[in-house]
Amino acid sequence: MKKNVMKAVPEELEKTLIEHGAQIIDGKLPGLEAVFYAEKGLFPGDWKKLLAEQAKKDKLAKEKYHVIKYLREKGYITRLSLDDSDFFRLYRKGFRPGMDKTAYLLKVAGKNWKTNISGLLDDLDSAGKLRKELVYAIAGDLEKKPIFVKVGRSSFE
């Protein structure tokens, strides 16, 4: 089942949304970005209803939105994965898409997150293939800022 609910963007809003860092593909906006821009008053609809719709498809939608909102308000641009993986791409602070490549591959985890070595190595492989640093965002308490944990490999040769 596809996790990302795409929302059609009214043509008259496209330019404004792009200026604010939106990721519009074929006239559509990824669902969690639509929630963010609706809360800011830049996209039509009730952001809480849009988030509830997204949560029907993705059990971590609220946590992911919490992380997106936190990072965007701190000046970071996030991009949701379009291949339906759980990863986000994160640009360095102050850089827009097209100005720089993404620096991090970000994965959101909820408060009950449990991982194992196999899952961790799979995530490291995904980040390595894209030449990105792997960061986990643990968004357990939606009233507090997420905890960010950067994970990498080391070699002692």
**Same domain flag for 47 and 71:** no
- pLDDT at position 135 is 95
Please give the residue range of the domain that contains residue 42.
Answer: 1-58
CB neighbour list of residue 138: distance below 8 Å, 6 or more residues apart = 109, 110, 111, 113, 146, 147, 148, 149
- pLDDT at position 56 is 92
CATH number at residue 102: 3.40.1350.150
Return d(Cα 104, Cα 109) in angstroms, integer.
16
CB 123 within 8 Å of CB 104 = no
Q: Structurally, how many domains does the chain consist of?
A: 2
**Same domain flag for 8 and 45:** yes
Return d(Cα 123, Cα 107) in angstroms, integer.
9
pLDDT digits (tens, 9 = 90+) for 107-131: 998 888 888 899 899 999 999 898 8
Backbone CA torsion sign across 98, 148, 55, 40? negative
Residue numbers of the chain with a pLDDT score lower than 50: 1
